[in-house]
């Protein structure tokens, strides 16, 4: 992952914890490149060595998963176009601010029922964090999970490298960064507002 030093994330795992929706990429060499958008999360809180997720078995990528195969997972946080009109102290050209993380590792398919249920429970627990009454797998309609379980294929990623980037205008004067924050906030979009909040936290 190419990251200029000033944008390198000090804690890339935190990006994954906060934005656990990824592009799950396999293939290369003689195998076709394949990618699926899917939630992927650390197997346990504080665990930065293994991640888990699942695919639909109807997805052709699911049938290609093999023990030890290399994978790349890309986690995208908020991002937004930055207009040069927002800079005054240090005129610039158009750019894009963003937060992202990448994981490289090796795969272990999970095909047994208990293993797959553990992945689903963990995924729901991560997604429901902060909810007043978190939904749990046991709250699903009777028989629904048993019906759907054969239709997914789960996996575990043994992490070999985690890298991240937080491009938040760090090289610009504080005044220009504040103007960018105000402009993004004024747009009112969810991703722009989230990015503005991260930029403000970084000042």
- Tens-digit pLDDT profile for residues 110-161: 999 999 999 999 999 999 998 999 999 999 999 999 999 999 999 999 999 9
Which H, E and C letters describe 132-177, residue by residue?
Answer: CCCCCHHHCCCCHHHHHHHHEEEEEEEEEEEEEEEECCCCCCHHHH
pLDDT score for 15: 96
Q: State the pTM of this model.
A: 0.92
Give buried/exposed letters for 46-64 (b at 16+ CB in 10 A, else e).
eebeebbbbbeeeeebbeb
pLDDT of residue 137: 92
Contact criterion met (CB below 8 Å) for 7 and 171: no
CB under 8 A, 24+ apart: contacts of 170-174:
170/6, 170/7, 170/202, 171/6, 172/87, 172/89, 172/90, 172/92, 173/89, 173/90, 174/203
Q: Residue 179: which pLDDT band, with cuts at 50, 70 and 90?
A: very high
Q: Taking 80 as the threshold, does the pLDDT of residue 47 lie above it?
A: no
Q: Has residue 197 got a pLDDT over 80?
A: yes
Res 23 pLDDT > 90:
yes
Q: What is the mean pLDDT of residues 36-62?
A: 94
Mean pLDDT estimate for the chain: 94
Which CATH superfamily does the domain covering 5-79+96-171 fall into?
Answer: Electron Transport, Fmn-binding Protein; Chain A (2.30.110.10)
Q: pLDDT band at 92, cuts 50/70/90?
A: confident
Structure tokens at 8: 């390198």
């Amino acid at each position: 992952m190419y990251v200029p030093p000033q944008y390198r994330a000090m804690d890339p795992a935190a990006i994954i914890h906060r934005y656990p929706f990824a592009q799950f990429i396999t293939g290369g060499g003689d195998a076709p490149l394949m990618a699926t958008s899917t939630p992927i999360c650390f197997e346990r809180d504080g665990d930065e060595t293994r991640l888990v997720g699942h695919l639909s078995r109807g997805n052709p990528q699911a049938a290609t998963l093999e023990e030890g195969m290399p994978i790349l997972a890309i986690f995208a946080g908020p991002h937004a176009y930055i207009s040069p009109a927002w800079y005054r102290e240090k005129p610039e050209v158009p750019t894009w601010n963003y937060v992202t993380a990448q994981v490289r590792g090796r795969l272990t398919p999970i095909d047994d029922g208990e293993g797959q249920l553990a992945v689903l429970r963990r995924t729901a627990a991560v997604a429901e964090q902060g909810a007043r009454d978190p939904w749990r797998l046991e709250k699903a309609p009777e028989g629904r999970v048993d019906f759907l379980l054969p239709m997914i294929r789960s996996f575990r990623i043994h992490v070999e490298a985690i890298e991240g980037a937080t491009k938040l205008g760090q090289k610009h004067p504080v005044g220009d960064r504040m103007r960018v924050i105000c402009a993004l906030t004024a747009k009112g979009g969810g991703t722009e507002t989230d990015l503005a909040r991260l930029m403000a936290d970084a000042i």
